[in-house]
Amino acid sequence: MSQFKFSIITVVKDDEKNILRTLNSVLIQRKNVDLEYIVINGDSSDNTLQIINELNHDIDKIISEPDNGIYDAMNKGIKFCTGDIIAFCNSGDELKQNGLKNVLDVFQKEKCDYVFGTVVRNYTGEKILKYGFDKKRIYFNFDFATAHSCGFYVKKKVIDYLGEYNLKYKCSSDYDFYFRLIDSGKFSGSFTKKEDVVGEVASGGFSSKISFYNHLIEETKIRIDNNQNKILVFIIFLNAIFKRFLKKFLNK
């Protein structure tokens, strides 16, 4: 075992169909890494909690109560973490069998503060392999890395420095965290090899239920709140609108 301990958090609400697959994909990682597992259930009204409780002897902490949205639930999970590296694998997503071992190898070799893992992302009718990241690209496009759930691993000391997820942002607080992380210039990052797939991200997650324009407005606020040049932010905003229009026009 490494000197690094992982704290993995699963956030779930009313997902009895998928939660067991996610739980099992995380628990199997204990064959390869030191793992603490925390599950935050948002007061589900279906059988989600019953399924979670069937594995309560393997899960280190189960919290089931109402919350103020996904990022509030994620912050709750962070408060219970005692590991060196924190990550999320939310309900419906799953880690590959050697996923955390691949991430651990990068932390050990690169001695970095965060790692983006290669993931398979499920979009409408297709699967896309996402790997690597370009930190400079975040100043122009938030689609600069792999994924948040299953794909982002960060040392606890980084969260202690930057703070938790900002509840002001309802659908893109992870982007705000990324922006603060990279803009601070204080932390180094790396990524797993293309062939070392860490996890698979399901389609139909929380963010997919938010309209393009609500996403864009919130992402624009994130840039302004983080003191990005307002002229550049305006250009990014207009470019996003133009690309959206062009995509719809070409698909007619």
Confidence of residue 178 (pLDDT cuts 50, 70, 90): very high
Please state the pTM of the whole predicted model. 0.94
- Segment 210-247, tens digit of pLDDT: 888 999 999 999 999 999 999 999 999 999 999 888 77
Domain layout of the chain by residue ranges: 5-210, 211-252
The full 3-state SS of the chain, as one line of letters, equals: CCCCEEEEEEEECCCCCCHHHHHHHHHHHHHCCEEEEEEEECCCCCCHHHHHHCCCCCCCEEEECCCCCHHHHHHHHHHCCCCCEEEECCCCCEECCCHHHHHHHHHHHHCCCEEECEEEEEECCEEEEECCCCHHHHHCCCCCCCCCCCCEEEEHHHHHHHCCCCCCCCCCHHHHHHHHHHHHCCCCEEECCCCCEEEEECCCCHHHHCCHHHHHHHHHHHHHHCCCCHHHHHHHHHHHHHHHHHHHHHCC
For domain 5-210, give the fold.
Answer: Spore Coat Polysaccharide Biosynthesis Protein SpsA; Chain A (3.90.550)
Confidence of residue 1 (pLDDT cuts 50, 70, 90): very low
pLDDT at 170 over 70: yes
